[in-house]
Amino acid sequence: MVVTSRDEVTGKLVDVDHGLISREVFVSGDIYQQEQEQVFARAWLFIGHEAQIPKPGDYFVSSMGEESVILCRDRESEVHAFLNSCMHRGMKVCRYDEGNTPVFTCPYHGWSFATDGKLVGVPYFKDAYHQELDKSKWGLIEVPQMYNYKGGIWATWDKSAPPFLDYIGGFKLYLDLLMDSWDGSDSGTEVFGGVEKWLVPSNWKFPAENFIGDRYHNISHRSVDMVGIGPSGTGRRDTNERAGSRLLDVSFPERGHGTVMALRPGDAAIPNAYQDLPILAEYFRHCEEEKKRKDAQLWRLLGGPGTVFPNMSYLPRQPRSIAVWHPRGVNQTEVWRWFLVDTKAPQEVKDYLRHYYIRYSGPGGLTEQDDMENWNYAHSASRGVIARRYAYNYEMGLGYGTPNYENDGLKLPGLILDSTEAKAAEQNQRGFYRRWAEFMDAEDWGILANWRNGSGHE
């Protein structure tokens, strides 16, 4: 399956108007290869958190698409992201996961690069190169654009990509539910030490579309809901905090981002939630009161799972974390998961949440292991020559969203589908794949920045 010309993907492999998406999108090696170029080399990608590299010389080896990158802080405390590949013969200049160093010395022939990327050491510079090598031209390749958004570090390889805030657009309101403190103050979150990393035998888009809003798969988490691991001792989450809320599916089809969240009624009172521990319940109540006092309308928003196109997904509350779905071949995804917490939360609350995060998430987590099973076998059962003849169905709730959503005096941005009674919809997935198809077809950001001419409907 080779895709060659423009408009080959939109409408043919991805027909969101009819809710049909070809399995080739998930299992074709050619499409995967094109995706590296068209999607991962152009989009903004999440690469880490500033709390991971607090001091000069600190580094964390991250990944953008398939490629290894070094996120580091130089001697002047400037943050950089470099391609982790030596300019001489391509060796990984840094083979570690993290650490602190004055220079990165290539293990192959020993070129060394400072933490600002400059080539500072070349063995036999006098004898073998006769001092003729122009070191200023052979520093590490640096990402052309990087942005620190409330501690989260994002980067893109495309210098013509719009600035990060323009890329996020109106979705910022929802992303802030992850990045701001629970009491509503701007930023103020940190990450726990330790990034979970593990491999899943499925295409990266399975998890990305699951997190963008798959309320439909609740059934697969029934066992963990029954035993109860949530912060009030029941369910996999504590649903008391959203009692009486409308459930909203929010999509930005012109950008590809989406989330499923809850909206409390205009006259809602602060609920009793997070009851497992008195200090936790108290911290929750304190944050809710503060947030409500700051802005009673915005207090009504309760964030849920979301995906920032293409491969950063998050859970803003239970358990609060960021996942990146790194493509590792068409049939494999490397998952990285960071866990966030309010910097100013009391130590006991941090400890409680850390334990909750661990029992929920990761390959050993009671909830996340259910998802692995689904993505693994959905992918492998879609690879065969017979299976790939048949498109997947994404019809659920087609056409039921509105771009002018309003509830009790609160207007919300995005294409919004109220799924309270319907219980589930696939609007957000359609938005994601509409955008994915545009990336696959479009030649440049001039076409991709289509929101500038008012696109944004399903």
Q: Tell me which residues touch other proteins (CB under 8 A).
A: 95-101, 192-197, 227-229, 339, 351, 354-355, 357-359, 362-364, 366
Nearer to ligand FES, 99 or 110 (CB): 110
**Nearest alpha-carbon partner for 106 in 86, 124, 123, 121:** 86
For residue 86, give the DSSP letter: -
358 binds, among other proteins, ligand FES, Fe ion, none (CB under 5 to 8 A by kind): other proteins
**Residue 9 structure tokens:** 């993907």
SS3 content of the chain, % helix, strand, coil (to 5): 30, 25, 45
Residue 62 CB, shortest distance to ligand FES, in Å, is 20
Mapped onto helix, strand or coil, the DSSP state of residue 362 is: coil
371 binds, among other proteins, Fe ion, ligand FES, none (CB under 5 to 8 A by kind): Fe ion
Residue 92 CB, shortest distance to other proteins, in Å, is 11
Nearer to ligand FES, 89 or 423 (CB): 89
**Residue 25 structure tokens:** 């999108």
Residue 319 CB, shortest distance to Fe ion, in Å, is 12
Nearer to ligand FES, 88 or 350 (CB): 88
Site string for ligand FES, 87-106 (x = CB under 6 A): -xx-x--------------x
116 binds, among Fe ion, other proteins, ligand FES, none (CB under 5 to 8 A by kind): none
For residue 403, which amino acid is it? P
Residue carrying structure tokens 């400890």: 351
86 binds, among ligand FES, other proteins, Fe ion, none (CB under 5 to 8 A by kind): ligand FES
Nearer to other proteins, 163 or 194 (CB): 194
Phi, psi of 307 (to 5 degrees): -135, 130
Cβ count near 295 (within 10 Å):
11
What distance in Å separates the CA atoms of residue 49 and residue 33, rounded to the nearest whole number? Answer: 28
Nearer to other proteins, 349 or 415 (CB): 349
Residues 104-143 that bind ligand FES (CB under 6 A): 106, 108-111
CB nearest Fe ion: which residue?
Answer: 371
Residue 60 CB, shortest distance to ligand FES, in Å, is 21
Mapped onto helix, strand or coil, the DSSP state of residue 240 is: helix
356-359 own/partner pairs: CB under 8 Å, 24+ apart = 356/229, 356/230, 356/231, 356/318, 356/319, 357/192, 357/319, 357/320, 357/321, 359/229
What distance in Å separates the CA atoms of residue 413 and residue 426, rounded to the nearest whole number? Answer: 18
359 binds, among Fe ion, ligand FES, other proteins, none (CB under 5 to 8 A by kind): other proteins
Nearer to Fe ion, 190 or 371 (CB): 371
Residue 112 CB, shortest distance to ligand FES, in Å, is 9
Handedness of CA 199, 201, 203, 208 (dihedral sign): negative
Residue 316 CB, shortest distance to other proteins, in Å, is 18
What distance in Å separates the CA atoms of residue 261 and residue 314, rounded to the nearest whole number? Answer: 12
For residue 447, give the DSSP letter: H
Yes or no: say if 311 and 327 are a contact pair by the CB < 8 Å rule.
yes
Site string for Fe ion, 369-388 (x = CB under 5 A): --x-----------------
88 binds, among ligand FES, other proteins, Fe ion, none (CB under 5 to 8 A by kind): ligand FES
The per-residue DSSP string of 108-148 comes to TT--EEETTS-EEE-TTTTTTTTT-S-GGG-SPPB-SEEEE
Site string for ligand FES, 361-400 (x = CB under 6 A): ----------------------------------------
Residues in the interface with Fe ion (CB under 5 A) total 1
Residue 93 CB, shortest distance to Fe ion, in Å, is 37
91 binds, among other proteins, Fe ion, ligand FES, none (CB under 5 to 8 A by kind): ligand FES
Nearer to Fe ion, 10 or 313 (CB): 313
Handedness of CA 290, 291, 297, 302 (dihedral sign): negative
Residue 358 CB, shortest distance to other proteins, in Å, is 5
Residues at the contact surface with ligand FES, assessed by CB under 6 A: 86, 88-89, 91, 106, 108-111
